Amino acid sequence: MQSHLFLSDSGDLYDTRAVDWSRAPLRARYARHYREVKNVSEFKACLRAGAYAWPGGYPCYFITSDGGALSYAAARSEYRNIVESISSKSNDGWRIVACDVNWEDTELYCDHTNARIESAYGDNDDR
């Protein structure tokens, strides 16, 4: 991110070069986790917010319309498929409808990569 841009704790993006820059964000809700993902903008904001919720650093993952789980890595690599599916409201396995924290499920795996999705409080043994 360029040095003149400021990302607030609330997820709003500000341009510090502007006069009275703190009065109004350049982009509101630029980077934040949405529990229910209703559109492409919310999906992009979740990606920008990162794979860990703040505060607490809890591991997040995406849920698709067919109930599948996708890791952040898979969502980034399949970005185009996901955006297309959200835009067209398709039920092809790529439409993300939610972002959630994996609290205790030690057996949660990404349906695309088959990589284990980290849990916040479950057994964290490497498998």
Q: What is the pLDDT of residues 43-84, one digit of tens each?
A: 999 999 999 998 889 999 999 999 999 999 999 999 999 999
Output the pLDDT for position 51. Answer: 97
Q: Are residues 71 and 105 in the same domain?
A: yes
Q: What residue numbers bound the domain in which 122 lies?
A: 32-127
47/75 Cα distance (integer angstroms): 8
Give yes or no for residue 127 having a pLDDT over 80. Answer: no
Q: Are residues 19 and 64 in the same domain?
A: no
Number of domains, the chain: 2
Q: Are residues 59 and 121 in the same domain?
A: yes
Q: Are residues 43 and 5 in the same domain?
A: no
Q: Are residues 104 and 51 in the same domain?
A: yes
* Closest C-alpha among 4, 1, 92 to residue 50: 1
At 101, give phi and psi (nearest 5°).
-90, 135
Q: Are residues 71 and 47 in the same domain?
A: yes
What pTM does this model have? Answer: 0.88
Q: Are residues 18 and 38 in the same domain?
A: no
DSSP E strands, the chain = 5-7, 13-15, 52-53, 58-64, 69-70, 96-101
